[in-house]
Structure 1
Amino acid sequence: MAQLDVSQKLEILADAAKYDASCASSGTTKRNSRDGKGIGSTEGMGICHAYAPDGRCISLLKILLTNSCIFDCHYCINRKSSNVRRARFTAKEVVNLTLSFYRRNYIEGLFLSSGIIGSSNYTMEQLVEVARSLREDHHFRGYIHLKTIPDADPELIHQAGLYADRMSINVELPTVSGLKRLAPEKDNGRIEGAMRGLKSSILDTRDAKKRYKSAPTFAPAGQSTQMIVGADAATDGDIVTKAATLYDRFDLRRVYYSAFSPIPDASAVLPLQRPPLMREHRLYQSDWLMRFYGFQPKEVVAAADDATGMLPLDIDPKLAWALKFR
């Protein structure tokens, strides 16, 4: 890998991070600095990168630790066989960038993900070190969202949760068959097992907090995930059903939907064109109906076309349901 300066790395790794949609800062708790130490806050206003439920703009530095990866997922621009410029930050460089951007009032927090380098455990150790250094060495009180690395040791995941506000692990695709076809090195059982472990740690810590004020927090803003839309043959009905299952099983704060976007030197098994962005939008509307309006997953699926399983693009899902069930 050619030697790059920090600004060149930032250009590459910020661009590489744009494909991950599971970046939000809703639900975090405010950290106080009663001892006079600490910088950053999740409560201020800044450059808009994500929105909290109350409409506040939350500015985040959203980067990858590296876009090198030992996996070869067909849909990923950073896959092992992809012909892209590679770069890698050190943990210290990410810490310094975060602090520098905060002091300039560019950001209020950090979203950090990574390709897998060396091994899952080694990569997760690097992510944990970034969060640990920010919190302990620099008393950073801003928002931190860490992406969980598949197959990382549960103890590393636990350490990450002690420093991060939110954690996420992407299920990537809505069906097991789609995951096997497009990401054969990933396993749905292991992904859901990691999500189950996060849920357990969050609930255990929440319960401990009720009894002991000194108990540490663990990912107080919960966990989220992302599904890619349009990279496989999954219908909107499949996606809505999968999302509902994830919410129910793992107490997710959000499921994010990311319309597949064709990438350079794409694999032959991928579609040639991206799905309509309106499809992604309709899925978010469906998600909203289930989370805030009491719609059952089967009701949302019932609004889809019986033959194709797709939601209509010209009208929103609630209107589609109303017209179908007058």
Structure 2
Amino acid sequence: MNVQEKLKILAAAAKYDVSCSSSGSKRQGPQGGLGSACSAGICHTWSADGRCISLLKVLLSNACKYDCAYCINRRSNDIPRATFTPKELIELTLEFYRRNYIEGLFLSSAVVGTPDRTMEMLVQIAKELRTVHKFGGYIHLKAIPGASSDLLYQAGLYADRSSVNIEIPTDRALQYLAPEKNHASIYKPMNFLAERKLEYKTEHSRYSPKFLPAGQSTQMIVGAAGETDLQILTLSNGFYKQQQMKRVYFSGYVPINADKRLPALTTKPPLVREHRLYQADWLMRFYKFGYDEIVDTAHPNLDLELDPKVAWALRHPEFFP
């Protein structure tokens, strides 16, 4: 299989990961190198559905060892499989950048062999781009649960942002849909990176290379396990306060696998619910609403007909005499 064939498979496989951004880091272009990153964001072109495209968004491999019910790349699916070599991905990134196609790299992967082996290849790609090719563009690197602390630390030195996807909002539902996973193994790299970032900021001067300057993000699938919006926003609130997450992304459940454990959706993905969650998230991050002001046990789900801000106002007429 040549590089173009691999790219077609692995770029398509990456589209379900929406925890992808291209801002939050201010990295100056290295002398004699190429590329830089801007905290204000990178805008290059727009796709037909309105999404900004600025990064080479791709998987290292889709040959996964896990068999998660909701994932297109699960090992029981009969789909074309491909795996890049680190050299192939490095050359792709550099050549795409030189042609002005991209401003950076969003690199994720299925777990190939072991978490350490997968993370080792991801780190190798980022390290060689930075140190050998003097690449100053934006790099978002997926952190693999189960990988060693040393590899996660190296990822933080070379990447602008990292992400570990929580995937399913409740641990019980995650273990039902993905028996080989649990929230404890996902929280471990999140907490490690958050702690190291805080330590690095304290110990190093502002002139030292930064550790994950654009922080962390995560993603939740919405509607695959019967969770309420209260459960989702409670979890998001914890991420922002405890792991200092920069963003929590929500992805409406898409029925891509036939599995009796998953809900049978006959309509489109719950995009309105996804939109309401982003509106609520905005109220929490920028207007300092508590999650329990937006939803509570009496109203555990957001109103699909009303903006969360309007719904809050209607429940609190005492604020508008």
TM-score by length of 1: 0.91
Q: Deviations over 1:267-286 (max 9, x none)?
A: 21111215420100000000
Distance 1:93 1:21 in 2: 24
Structure 1: 4+ residue segments shifted above 6 A: none
Partner of residue 258, structure 1: 251
Q: Please say if 1:124 is aligned against 2:116.
A: no
Percent identity, please. Answer: 52
In structure 2, what residue type is equivalent to 1:280? E
User: Contact between 2:22 and 2:54, CA under 8 Å: does it hold in 1?
Assistant: no
SS at match of 2:131: helix
1:27-176 alignment runs, 5 A limit: 27-33=24-30, 35=31, 37-43=32-38, 45-48=43-46, 59-176=54-171
User: Contact between 1:25 and 1:143, CA under 8 Å: does it hold in 2?
Assistant: yes
User: Contact between 1:174 and 1:239, CA under 8 Å: does it hold in 2?
Assistant: yes
Partner of residue 289, structure 2: 295
User: Contact between 1:124 and 1:148, CA under 8 Å: does it hold in 2?
Assistant: yes
Partner of residue 315, structure 1: 306
Distance 1:45 1:295 in 2: 30
User: Contact between 2:29 and 2:35, CA under 8 Å: does it hold in 1?
Assistant: no
Distance 1:291 1:251 in 2: 11
Q: Which moved more, 1:23-32 or 1:67-76?
A: 23-32
User: Contact between 1:60 and 1:111, CA under 8 Å: does it hold in 2?
Assistant: yes
Partner of residue 174, structure 2: 179
User: Contact between 1:278 and 1:313, CA under 8 Å: does it hold in 2?
Assistant: yes
User: Contact between 2:143 and 2:163, CA under 8 Å: does it hold in 1?
Assistant: yes
SS at match of 2:309: helix
SS at match of 1:280: helix
User: Contact between 1:46 and 1:105, CA under 8 Å: does it hold in 2?
Assistant: no
Q: Please say if 1:220 is aligned against 2:218.
A: no
How far apart are 1:209 and its partner, in Å?
A: 2.8
User: Contact between 1:134 and 1:140, CA under 8 Å: does it hold in 2?
Assistant: yes
Partner of residue 268, structure 1: 260
1:230-241 alignment runs, 5 A limit: 230-241=223-234
In structure 2, what residue type is equivalent to 1:269? R
Alignment size in residue pairs: 309
Distance 1:243 1:62 in 2: 24
The partner residue of 1:26 within 23, 27, 33 is 23
Distance 1:61 1:171 in 2: 23
How far apart are 1:47 and its partner, in Å?
A: 2.6
Distance 2:55 2:233 in 1: 28
How far apart are 1:45 and its partner, in Å?
A: 4.7
In structure 1, what residue type is equivalent to 2:260? A
Distance 2:97 2:259 in 1: 39
SS at match of 1:22: coil
Superposition RMSD on alpha carbons, in Å? Answer: 1.7
TM-score by length of 2: 0.92
The partner residue of 1:282 within 246, 256, 276 is 276
Distance 1:32 1:290 in 2: 34
In structure 2, what residue type is equivalent to 1:17? A
How far apart are 1:243 and its partner, in Å?
A: 0.6
SS at match of 1:122: helix
How far apart are 1:177 and its partner, in Å?
A: 1.0
